[in-house]
């Protein structure tokens, strides 16, 4: 801005100066300093003269015509010179511009030539590098091919013989020394061939060259002999050296081909099929070439638009297996004649090993082969001659044979042995399989045997099975051994098949002994809102009688309520102390199988009990009580004694009677709630009971289809609402029905004061109908009711497993009916609960709860439920359960 101001000021001064008149030459400069030298004044040309035009003279100036002409000439000359100077200057500038343009064009051409040369040099260098890389790749590929060729050549023997070849370096049976001179065969002759030709055999084994004068290496001859022995085509390979008086040393190889079987007959089959036997007898080894398999591979390639065929030739090794058309084989369940690979004995041995591996522990094979190639195979699938029992005698041994249910003359399988032992332990639970000598047990499972060949004078060959004699039992020593994954898998697959069973010839020997006392201990992490956290321990000791007369069981349990979280009953320290007392249960019972008495015994107890075990299991209730203060159970204190007798007149039916004398006491929930969540919520409401002494008699009838004889009966925590049978039935492939009915009649204090008689009838039936693996329908129908029922024995519906989706015991009365249907499809399922309650002399409206399940197993599952009445919401109730109660 400041510079602009100076520029404007300078222009203004210049204009003022230009407007002043030219000073006269005779007038002294007023600015001249006296005594200073005069300032020279430059002549000033008139303005018109600057453009070569005549200017008018000032007024008063006088000129002559000659002077005027000279002035005009001089002006014209100056103008001409100035024009010539300007033209020359323009010419020189134009020349300079032309020269500069020429130089620029030349520089551009030079730069283009340099760039082109640089590009050409880079292309040449890249081509050189590509050529070097290609040459290097070719060299490496050639080296790799050479190494692979050498490796393939070295592996020919290994692949062909399926054996180690290191012994070739030390095996030198073909050198002959005569007078200290080493002789090596120079010619090989094959003798004894019948079906095959010498050219076929030589081409197959890759024998050394037979050209005269060709050098034979000892190693090549040894390799040829070993290949002949391992082809499976020959029963005998006998090398002989012939040393003529004149001529080369000859190696004569005398060969005996394996028999040719032209036709096959199979006799004696009962369970097996003909093709099953023949497929194993004439089974070809793995990796055997197919009929249409081509050793060379051809590919269609296209290079620069030209189409051609590329043939990849296989390695120079001789084939590992003989051609299929030489061999006896099965194709599409049809027999093809030929040489028997490995011989008839090896083929029958292979089939026998497969039979016994499939469980035919007594199987044997025999047969005949005529000179014409007609093979007859006689199969004995292994029939049992009898059963011997070791460990028990007398009537118990007869019961063992009856429980095994193995008949003489039946084909005996390993699976029959497993099922027989399962039946034995189920029907006679006081017995168990006795361990036998390991060597004997292994021999019984494996049943080592070999096929023996005998040749008759008429050329007929006979084959029979010869059992391997068991060696004497040796003293056990500590040894180290390697267990392969295959052996481990076989052990896992068969498990303890046949444990306690050995075979003596064709007789089955069963080793049993009396079961040792069983001791079971279980931790019971019980948590309730009336006791807090009360961990417990339950134990059961069962003592078995070797004569199966009287089996005794002792049961006991104890719970210790812990004082955590400052829980108490407000304003009731005595009640708090009473609810923290030790919980004890104990009992004894006996089983008398001879009269069908499943249990006869009694119990004494003083503990915190509930009648809601049919709704939710102990573990699930404890978990949700400790987590969210929702146990979904009512508790009371029960102290008293009980006596009971239960008869099991068949495997599926129970009938029993029980007497009880109990004192009931109401329990209250502690404050504050001892739970991980919802600690600020009010205590879970525990329903009060009718207190006092009650006496009652309970009759029971129970059925469970397919219950094993050793199924546990009875429990330390006995209630009329739960069954006595402990049967684990998941989603199997057969229907299952389980139901029981109980009738309780008793008397006790009534709400009005004096004792009053009451009765209650309960029925609960569950049925499982499988439609597939882990798929099917589960149905339940439960009904209960009575008269003059104490408060703790009244019926109520609502809550988990008792009308899901509704609140815990939302509907109460003296009678209830509940129906449940659940369909499961693998891990997913849907259910519907329908129930109603009769109270105050009338039935309430039926309630429906629906939901879905996700199963991790048959017991572990997640249930999601909705109620469908006027209080229904979009938010469901959800729980994770670990035990199924129905």
Q: So what's the pLDDT on residue 78?
A: 78
Q: So what's the pLDDT on residue 293?
A: 44
Q: How confident is the model at residue 221 (pLDDT cuts 50, 70, 90)?
A: confident
pLDDT more than 90, % of the chain: 34
Mean pLDDT of 783-794: 93
Burial 356-367, CB ≥16 within 10 A → b, else e: beebbbbbbbbb
Question: Three-class SS of residue 694?
Answer: strand
CA distance 727 to 426: 13
Q: Where are the beta strands (DSSP E) in 529-669?
A: 532-543, 551-559, 583-592, 597-609, 636-647, 653-666
CA distance 39 to 432: 151
Cis peptide, bond prior to residue 672, ω within 30 of zero? yes
Among candidate residues 378, 339, 104, the one with its CA nearest the CA of residue 234 = 339
Contact indicator for 749, 758 with CB cutoff of 8 Å: no
Q: Which two tokens stand for residue 160?
A: 């062909």
Of all helices (H) and strands (E), which one includes residue 878? strand 877-881
Of all helices (H) and strands (E), which one includes residue 879? strand 877-881
CA distance 605 to 587: 9
Strand partners of residue 591: 551
CA distance 573 to 553: 39
Contact indicator for 506, 362 with CB cutoff of 8 Å: yes
Q: So what's the pLDDT on residue 172?
A: 44
Q: How confident is the model at residue 40 (pLDDT cuts 50, 70, 90)?
A: very low
The residue written with tokens 């015994």 in the block is: 601
Q: Which two tokens stand for residue 736?
A: 């299952």
What are the start-end ranges of the H helices in 538-644?
Answer: 573-579, 618-628
Q: Which two tokens stand for residue 230?
A: 């391992």
Residue range 572-622, pLDDT digits in tens: 888 888 999 999 999 999 999 989 999 999 999 999 999 999 999 999 999
Mean pLDDT of 784-795: 93
Residue range 82-108, pLDDT digits in tens: 777 877 887 888 888 888 888 888 888
Q: What are phi and psi of 405, to 5 degrees?
A: 55, 45
Residue 341: exposure state from Cβ atoms within 10 A (0-12, 13-18, ≥19) = buried
Residue 386 sits at the vertex; the CA angle it makes with 384 and 388, to the nearest 5 degrees, is 130
DSSP string, 328-394: -EEETTEEE-EE-TT-HHHHHHHHHHHHHHTT-TT-EEEEEE-TT-EEEEEEE--B--EEEEES--T
Contact indicator for 363, 280 with CB cutoff of 8 Å: no
Estimate the crossing angle of helix 198-205 against helix 218-230, to 10 degrees: 110
Q: So what's the pLDDT on residue 94?
A: 82
Q: Provide the CA 393 distance to its chain's centre, in angstroms.
A: 48
CA distance 668 to 374: 92
CA distance 742 to 655: 10
CA distance 150 to 680: 83
The residue written with tokens 């931790």 in the block is: 523
Q: What are phi and psi of 760, to 5 degrees?
A: -150, 130
Strand partners of residue 586: 556, 604
Q: How confident is the model at residue 157 (pLDDT cuts 50, 70, 90)?
A: low
DSSP 8-state symbol, 593: G
CA distance 807 to 793: 19
Question: Three-class SS of residue 195?
Answer: coil
Mean pLDDT of 153-170: 46
Residue range 551-561, pLDDT digits in tens: 999 999 999 99
598 against 128, higher pLDDT: 598
- Mean pLDDT is lowest, of 209-223, 512-526, 812-826, for 209-223
Tell me: pLDDT of 118 over 60.
Answer: yes
Q: What is the reported pTM?
A: 0.62
Q: Which two tokens stand for residue 719?
A: 């209630």
Residue 705: exposure state from Cβ atoms within 10 A (0-12, 13-18, ≥19) = middle
Q: Is 640 left (phi over 0), alpha (psi -120 to 50) or beta?
A: left
Residue range 812-821, pLDDT digits in tens: 999 999 999 9
Tell me: pLDDT of 881 over 80.
Answer: yes
Residue range 699-730, pLDDT digits in tens: 999 999 988 777 889 889 999 999 998 876 65
Among candidate residues 395, 393, 397, 362, the one with its CA nearest the CA of residue 380 = 362
Question: Three-class SS of residue 136?
Answer: helix
Q: Which two tokens stand for residue 86?
A: 């300007």
CA distance 798 to 848: 10
Residue range 276-293, pLDDT digits in tens: 889 888 888 765 554 444
Average pLDDT, the chain: 80
């Amino acid at each position: 801005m400041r510079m602009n101001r100076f520029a404007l000021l300078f222009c203004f001064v210049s204009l003022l100066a230009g407007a002043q008149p030219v000073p006269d030459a005779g007038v002294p400069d007023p600015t001249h300093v006296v005594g200073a030298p005069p300032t020279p004044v430059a002549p000033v040309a008139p303005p018109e003269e600057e453009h070569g035009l005549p200017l008018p003279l000032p007024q008063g100036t006088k000129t002559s015509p000659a002077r005027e002409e000279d002035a005009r000439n001089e002006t014209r000359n100056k103008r001409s010179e100035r024009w010539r100077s300007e033209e020359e200057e323009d010419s020189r500038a134009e020349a300079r511009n032309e020269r500069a343009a020429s130089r620029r064009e030349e520089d551009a051409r030079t730069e283009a030539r340099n760039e082109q040369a640089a590009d050409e040099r880079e292309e040449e260098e890249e081509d050189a590098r590509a050529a070097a890389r290609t040459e290097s790749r070719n060299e490496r590929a050639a080296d790799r091919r050479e190494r692979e060729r050498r490796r393939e050549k070295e592996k020919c023997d290994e692949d062909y013989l399926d054996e180690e070849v290191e012994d070739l370096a030390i095996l030198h049976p073909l050198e002959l020394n005569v007078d200290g001179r080493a002789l090596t065969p120079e010619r090989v002759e094959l003798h004894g061939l019948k079906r095959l030709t010498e050219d076929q055999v030589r081409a197959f084994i890759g024998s050394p060259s037979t050209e005269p004068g060709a050098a034979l290496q000892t190693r090549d001859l040894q390799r040829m002999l070993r290949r002949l022995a391992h082809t499976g085509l020959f029963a005998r390979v006998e090398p002989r050296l012939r040393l003529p008086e004149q001529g080369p040393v000859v190696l004569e190889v005398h060969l005996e081909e394996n028999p040719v079987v032209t036709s096959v007959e199979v006799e004696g089959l009962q369970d097996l099929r003909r093709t099953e036997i023949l497929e194993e007898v004439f089974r070809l080894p793995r990796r055997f070439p197919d009929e249409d398999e081509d050793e060379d591979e051809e590919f269609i390639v296209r290079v620069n638009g030209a189409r051609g065929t590329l043939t990849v030739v296989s390695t120079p090794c001789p084939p590992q297996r003989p051609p299929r058309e030489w061999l006896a084989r099965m194709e599409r369940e049809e027999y093809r004649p030929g040489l028997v690979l490995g011989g008839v004995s090896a083929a029958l041995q292979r089939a026998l090993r497969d039979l016994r591996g499939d469980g035919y522990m007594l199987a044997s094979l025999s047969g005949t082969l005529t000179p014409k190639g007609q093979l007859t195979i006689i199969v004995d699938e292994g029939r049992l001659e009898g059963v011997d029992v070791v460990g028990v005698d007398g009537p118990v041994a007869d019961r063992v044979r009856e429980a095994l249910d193995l008949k003489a003359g039946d084909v005996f399988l390993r699976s029959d042995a497993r099922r027989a032992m399962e039946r034995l332990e189920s029907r006679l639970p006081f017995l168990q399989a006795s361990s036998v000598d390991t060597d004997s047990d292994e021999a019984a499972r494996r049943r080592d045997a070999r096929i023996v060949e005998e040749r008759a004078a008429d050329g007929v060959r006979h084959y029979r099975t010869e059992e391997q004699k068991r060696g004497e039992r040796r003293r056990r020593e500590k040894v180290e051994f390697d267990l392969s994954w295959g052996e481990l898998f076989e052990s896992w697959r068969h498990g303890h098949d046949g444990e306690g069973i050995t075979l003596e010839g064709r007789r089955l020997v069963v080793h049993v002994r009396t079961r040792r006392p069983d001791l079971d201990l279980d931790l019971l992490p019980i948590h309730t809102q009336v006791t807090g956290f009360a961990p417990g321990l339950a134990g059961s000791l069962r003592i078995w009688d070797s004569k199966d007369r009287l089996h005794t069981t002792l049961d006991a349990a104890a719970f210790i309520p812990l004082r955590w979280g400052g829980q108490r009953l407000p304003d009731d320290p005595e009640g708090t102390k009473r609810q923290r007392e030790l919980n004890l249960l104990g009992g004894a019972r006996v089983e008398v199988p001879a009269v069908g008495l499943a249990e006869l015994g009694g119990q004494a107890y003083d503990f915190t009990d509930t009648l809601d075990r049919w709704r939710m299991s102990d573990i699930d209730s404890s978990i949700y009580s400790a987590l969210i203060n929702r146990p979904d159970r009512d508790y009371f204190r029960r102290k008293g004694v009980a006596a009971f007798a239960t008869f099991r007149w068949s495997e599926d039916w129970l009938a029993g009677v029980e007497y009880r004398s109990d004192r009931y006491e109401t329990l209250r929930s502690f404050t504050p709630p001892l739970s991980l969540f919802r600690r600020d919520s009010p205590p879970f409401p525990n329903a009060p009971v009718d207190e006092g002494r009650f006496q009652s008699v309970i009759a029971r009838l129970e059925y469970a289809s397919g219950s094993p004889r050793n199924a546990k009966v009875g429990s330390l925590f006995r209630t009329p609402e739960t069954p006595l049978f402990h049967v684990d039935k998941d989603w199997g492939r057969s229907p299952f029905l389980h139901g029981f009915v109980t009738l309780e009649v008793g008397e006790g204090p009534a709400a009005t004061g004096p004792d009053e008689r009451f009765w209650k009838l309960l029925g609960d039936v569950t049925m499982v109908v499988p439609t597939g693996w882990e798929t099917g329908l589960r149905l339940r129908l439960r009904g209960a009711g009575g008269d003059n029922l104490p408060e703790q024995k009244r019926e109520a519906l609502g809550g988990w497993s008792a009308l899901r989706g509704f609140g815990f015991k939302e509907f109460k009365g003296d009678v209830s009916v509940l129906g449940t249907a659940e369909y499961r499809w693998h891990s997913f399922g849907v259910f519907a609960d329908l129930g109603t309650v009769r109270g105050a002399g009338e039935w309430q409206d039926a309630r429906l709860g629906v939901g879905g399940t996700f199963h991790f197993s048959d017991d572990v599952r997640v249930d999601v439920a909705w109620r469908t009445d006027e209080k229904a919401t979009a938010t469901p109730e959800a729980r994770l359960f670990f035990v199924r109660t129905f």
